[in-house]
Homo-oligomer: A and B are copies of this chain.
């Protein structure tokens, strides 16, 4: 374990996480808050980041900073470009946006873009988790990164071949909070991965992902007809959506394709369980560790780039 090496920043839509990493990538100190990129005015990013770096302690002052996520979006601090796919992940720092200010010298890593007229797609943040993940031996196959917009990524030889974003998490929230299902679903319910209502719905979604529009209404009908509880209705809705998401993704890849799950929080158990129903055993990685590993690796590559320059 060496001294302070870099400040790693994961700046998403609704949260900010800042770590001080040593020269082996280990965490020396950490600062978190809900100051997501969505809530900050254009001029507020530098002051906010400086405050967090202060909290990391004296060793953090003057360290290079590597950032990823919505901080690089059009309405973020500075718009970082998108790298088109297929893309090599270790090229990310070369396409980064450099932000140098009074007290900061920072890189904002680029997102990825899929330039396809009928199905364009973008990501910001997950590419950095994948850069961290790309150090894992046997890094290849299909990677699932659940969330508001679940990312499904085909990776090979340190590169991203293809990806798509599924609106799974956002549609759960929309239906539970704004649709006719809001009368019967508890949006705050804790869903257990072994809840029978979750499992049956997940199996239905896996078996017939094409029927989602037709099966969602059953959550409402079950409440009317058989008095489904608000917690069971939430489990049923979640199971239908995750089953459909996984079922659709698995149809796009050859049977036996290796699957990795990069997740944190309740998603881990729920997605792992539904993969199991589909006969797939994903390797599971922690999303927080992966993003730190990706930011650390980007800092190393930045170093190398400067040594070569």
Contacts and interface: CB of A to CB of B under 8 A. Distances in A.
Interface of A: 74, 82, 113-115, 117-122, 149-150, 152, 164-168, 170-171, 174-175, 178-180, 200, 204, 209-218, 220-222, 224-226, 241, 244-245, 247-249, 251
7 contacts: A120-B224, A122-B220, A164-B215, A165-B214, A166-B214, A210-B251, A211-B248
Q: How many chain copies?
A: 2
A274 B80 CA distance: 39
Nearest 10 interchain pairs by C-beta:
A209-B210, A165-B217, A166-B213, A210-B210, A120-B221, A164-B214, A210-B248, A120-B225, A174-B174, A166-B214
Given A119-B204, A221-B122, A244 B213 contact: yes
Contact of A174 (B175, B204, B220, B248): B175
Nearest to A168: B213
Contacts of A226: 117, 120
A119 B200 CA distance: 11
Contact of A212 (B150, B212, B221): B212
Given A113-B225, A210-B251, A211-B248, A118 B174 contact: no
B210 A149 contact: no
A174 B180 CA distance: 11
Nearest to A247: B210
Contacts of A251: 210
Given A118-B204, A120-B222, A221-B122, A213 B174 contact: no
Contact of A214 (B118, B152, B225): B152
A212 B213 contact: yes
B248 A213 contact: yes
Nearest to A204: B118
Contact of A224 (B118, B122, B224, B248): B122
Contacts of A74: 224
A233 to B, nearest CB: 12
B225 A115 contact: yes
Given A170-B180, A251-B210, A121 B218 contact: yes
Contacts of A247: 210
A218 B179 contact: no
A149 B247 CA distance: 24
A129 B248 CA distance: 35
A282 B249 CA distance: 32
Contacts of A122: 220-221, 224-225
Nearest to A113: B225
Interface centre among A114, A221, A226, A244 (most CB of B within 10 A): A221
Nearest to A82: B225
Contacts of A211: 209, 248
Contacts of A152: 214
B168 A200 contact: no
